[in-house]
């Protein structure tokens, strides 16, 4: 398997249509609406952060995109196909890694191709290639427990991307890492996403993380989660850590803090004026 920069853009796959979806959780008297009337689309190759307070339904939305959870109302499609169940086409990375502890790094990464019947030599070559890309050359024969948290998350990303998914779903993947590792992992992710352009939906409650990573930040209200803003981020790429100190960045951060402070039922803040 050859991983080339042009692949995904040439394929132009990974369009997500979220068409007026609501998702209810719980049963009977305990049933409640977790997200309400979400309505937006995501273009092929776009990196979108979904930002919102804890409990607003971000993981619920991601679970629906992954095909683990049904929507109660509305329609969810990827490249015009309704999402009806999980698929390697929609890979998901969680905060806690899900690597097999008894398998070496290479075998963890090669697991998807193995399940598809790719022969050993070929799947190991593909695994080593993608491990190089995530900065783990030399660690192929390690076990997950021998790696740091940041390195385990790199393996997790490699394990998903080796399947060349249409969609990469990330649920607060760096939430358990210390600040410095987290910041490094954000740069690693952007580097990987540049090399393997994949539609990415990255969920976080961290405003800076969303602004640093995304093409677009979708801001959700407290439960039931609704979209309260959808912001195109004007920052050029490649992005460096210093971006977070630039005036335009700080202005947007302040705007979002204001949005998230609003209590339910209050009138929406005016839209942000163009950045000067
Ligand atoms: P987020 O990821 O934004 O923190 P979640 O999507 O995990 O939020 O959860 C949305 C709401 O649904 C929360 O209030 C959470 O407590 C609740 N919740 C999540 N999963 C379940 C479940 N299986 N049964 C009942 N309530 C749930
Ligand atoms: Mg969550």
What average pLDDT is seen over the chain?
Answer: 92
The proportion of the chain whose per-residue pLDDT surpasses 70, expressed as a percent, equals 91
Quote the CA–CA distance of 50 and 229 in Å, as a whole number. 10
- State residue 262's pLDDT score: 77
> Whose alpha carbon is nearest atom 14 of ligand 1?
55
Q: Would you place residue 274 in the very low, low, confident or very high pLDDT band (cuts 50, 70, 90)?
A: low
Q: Would you place residue 264 in the very low, low, confident or very high pLDDT band (cuts 50, 70, 90)?
A: very low
**How many whole angstroms from 174 Cα to the centroid of ligand 2?**
12
The proportion of the chain whose per-residue pLDDT surpasses 90, expressed as a percent, equals 89
Ligand 1 contact, 14 CB (< 6 A): no
- State residue 265's pLDDT score: 44
Domain 8-99+166-261: CATH class, spelled out: alpha beta
- State residue 132's pLDDT score: 96
CA angle 96, 204, 247 (to 5 degrees): 135
Quote the CA–CA distance of 195 and 99 in Å, as a whole number. 23
Distance in angstroms between the alpha carbons of the first and the last residue of the chain: 46
Question: What is the H or E stretch that residue 153 is in?
Answer: helix 149-161
**How many whole angstroms from 58 Cα to the centroid of ligand 2?**
5
**Hey, where are the domains in the chain?**
8-99+166-261
Instruction: Give mean pLDDT, residues 175-181.
Output: 95
Quote the CA–CA distance of 188 and 173 in Å, as a whole number. 12
Nearest atom in ligand 1 to the alpha carbon of residue 54 is 4
- State residue 185's pLDDT score: 95
Which DSSP symbol is given to 50?
E
Question: Cα separations (Å) of 171 from 9, 28, 200, 201?
Answer: 24, 28, 11, 8
**How many whole angstroms from 55 Cα to the centroid of ligand 2?**
7
> Whose alpha carbon is nearest atom 13 of ligand 1?
55
172: its two tokens: 């607060």
**How many whole angstroms from 273 Cα to the centroid of ligand 2?**
31
pLDDT tens across 108-128, in order?
999 999 999 999 999 999 999
- State residue 261's pLDDT score: 87
Closest CA to 177 of 205, 142, 211, 151: 151
Q: Would you place residue 10 in the very low, low, confident or very high pLDDT band (cuts 50, 70, 90)?
A: low
Query: Which of 22, 31, 54, 59 maximizes ligand 1 atoms within 8 Å of its Cβ, making it the mutation to test the pocket?
Result: 59
pLDDT tens across 99-112, in order?
999 999 999 999 99
> Whose alpha carbon is nearest atom 7 of ligand 1?
59
pLDDT tens across 27-43, in order?
999 999 999 999 999 99
**Those residues with Cβ within 8 angstroms of residue 68's Cβ, 6 or more apart along the chain or in another chain:** 86
Within 124-243, strands assigned E span: 167-171, 199-204, 216-220, 227-232
Quote the CA–CA distance of 218 and 65 in Å, as a whole number. 15
pLDDT tens across 188-245, in order?
999 999 999 999 999 999 999 999 999 999 999 998 999 999 999 999 999 998 999 9
């Amino acid at each position: 398997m050859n991983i080339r920069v042009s692949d995904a853009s040439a394929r132009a796959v990974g369009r997500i249509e979220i068409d007026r979806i609501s998702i209810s959780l719980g049963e009977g008297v305990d049933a409640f609406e977790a997200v309400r009337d979400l309505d937006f689309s995501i273009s092929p190759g776009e990196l979108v952060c979904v930002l919102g307070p804890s409990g607003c339904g971000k993981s619920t939305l991601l679970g629906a995109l992954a095909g683990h959870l049904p929507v109660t109302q509305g329609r969810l499609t990827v490249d015009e196909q309704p999402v009806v169940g999980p698929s390697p086409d929609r890979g998901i990375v969680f905060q806690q890694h899900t690597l097999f502890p008894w398998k070496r790094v290479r075998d963890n990464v090669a697991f998807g191709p193995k399940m598809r019947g790719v022969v050993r030599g070929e799947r190991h070559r593909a695994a080593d290639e993608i491990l190089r890309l995530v900065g783990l050359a030399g660690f192929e024969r390690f076990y997950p427990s021998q790696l740091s948290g940041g390195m385990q998350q790199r393996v997790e990303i490699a394990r998903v991307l080796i399947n060349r998914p249409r969609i990469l779903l990330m649920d607060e993947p760096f939430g358990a890492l210390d600040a410095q590792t987290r910041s490094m992992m954000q740069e690693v992710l952007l580097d990987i996403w540049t090399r393997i352009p994949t539609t990415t939906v990255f969920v976080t409650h961290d405003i800076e993380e969303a602004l640093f990573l995304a093409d677009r930040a979708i801001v959700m209200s407290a439960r039931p989660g609704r979209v309260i803003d959808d912001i195109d981020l004007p920052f050029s790429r490649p992005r460096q850590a210093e971006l977070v100190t630039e005036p335009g960045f700080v202005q947007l951060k302040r705007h979002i803090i204001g949005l998230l402070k609003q209590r339910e039922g209050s009138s929406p803040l005016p839209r942000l004026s163009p950045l000067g």
